[in-house]
Amino acid sequence: VECCDFVPAALCGITDPSRVLRSVCAAGHKAMYSDSWGGLPDAGFLSKLDPALAGLRDRLYTKAVSSDMPAGTLCREWATRLGLREGITVAVGAFDAHMGAVGAGIAEGRLVKILGTSSCDMIVVNADRTLADIPGVCGIVKGSILPGQWAIEAGQSAVGDIFLWLVEHLTPERYGKTKDEKFAALQREAAGLAPGEHGLLALDWNNGNRTVLVDPLLTGLIMGQTLHTTAAEIFKALIEATAFGALTIIRRIGEYDVPVHEVTVCGGLASKSPMLLQVYADVLNMPLTVSRSDQTCALGAAIFGAVAAGRDAGGYASAEEAQKILCGRRGETFTPDSDRAAVYSQIYALYSELHDTFGTARESGSLRHVMKKLLELRSRTRA
């Protein structure tokens, strides 16, 4: 039983696994469930993975549903322990990131990016459309974010963890004694660097690549270092690398007719580094906003609780109706600067060459020009 199915069932006093209502979010993204092939994969397929799995197949479930459905009602035991009223509607569960996307106001054309130690990128598409398989995107499930919509979920294996690695292992004490002091000093110094000024280019694969290469055995790279390279310059290059990785995801889903017009971010990094968000806006060359809520996962869960309860209980008719009232973005919009975006476009072309050379089997020939182009951009920027 998935944790996101177990918790609602426990709150409702349901102890028989056959009575647990299953989340299509967990079933689709982790158990390969799809209505189009009759639910879970068939016993023949599972037995090829492991003979024991074939016997498990018929003891699991045949139907999974989206989070606007009631899982049951709050039982007396948990109502007493939580200080709530017995009989309150409990919604079907889902993964934290997917609830967070709803709480951040996800909609068609608006990608929600959860920025933390790693990243999770999500967008929805009306399920009336025929959606092609998107190579390198591991999660495409109908109804796992918003009911009646395809959910596309991708991400990067490391973002904030890359910056933490730099602070813990490579940042000298002249930037500060604690991690917080070093982060603050790195950000101040990096903020003054124009695109291309440091002459560096990095690959954001310190923890492998999830999307679009789907290869956990790839590793990071920093190109262009000299005897004068500073920790702040490396910090800025690593931020840019994670932004280039984000752009690679957006471009891949765009190639399959899923356009992204704006990005809303949430998560730990979203509220800590305006400099990082501006770099992302310039690299993506599109407006970037920050979710108004610092607790988007909880807000998304509350939205589905209100939808599952229905209008008669003071709830909402749909998640989209609730989003219009409960979700929002903070006042500041990070708007791309055309000059910076133009330089980043040139650097991204070099990033793409490194990305494809080290991440795919494509023969690319000499990479000598990459180093020379970085030096050329650095000289031009400094001049």
pLDDT of 293-325, one tens digit each? 999 999 999 999 999 999 999 999 999 999 999
Q: Average pLDDT of 333-353?
A: 98
365 has pLDDT over 90: no
- Per-residue pLDDT band for 363 (boundaries 50, 70, 90) equals confident
Tokens 């975006």 label which residue? 341
- Per-residue pLDDT band for 56 (boundaries 50, 70, 90) equals confident
CA distance 339 to 250: 21
pLDDT at 9: 98
Q: Which two tokens stand for residue 45?
A: 């397929």
The amino acid that residue 67 corresponds to is S
Q: Model pTM?
A: 0.95
61 touches 38 (CB < 8 A): no
Helix (H, G, I), strand (E, B) or coil at 117: coil
pLDDT at 149: 97
pLDDT at 54: 86
Burial 271-308 (b: 16+ CB within 10 A, else e): eebebbbbbbbbbbbbebbbbbbeebbebbbbbbbbbb
116 touches 86 (CB < 8 A): no
Q: Which two tokens stand for residue 26?
A: 């967990």
List pLDDT tens digits, range 149-199. 999 999 999 999 999 999 999 999 999 999 999 999 999 999 999 999 999
pLDDT at 146: 98
58 has pLDDT over 90: no
List pLDDT tens digits, range 74-133. 999 999 999 999 999 999 999 999 999 999 999 999 999 999 999 999 999 999 999 999
Average pLDDT of the chain to the nearest whole number: 96
348 touches 283 (CB < 8 A): yes
229 touches 183 (CB < 8 A): no
282 touches 340 (CB < 8 A): yes
Q: Average pLDDT of 357-380?
A: 91
DSSP secondary structure string, 135-172?
Answer: TT--EEEETSSSTTEEEEEEEES-SHHHHHHHHHHT--
Helix (H, G, I), strand (E, B) or coil at 326: helix
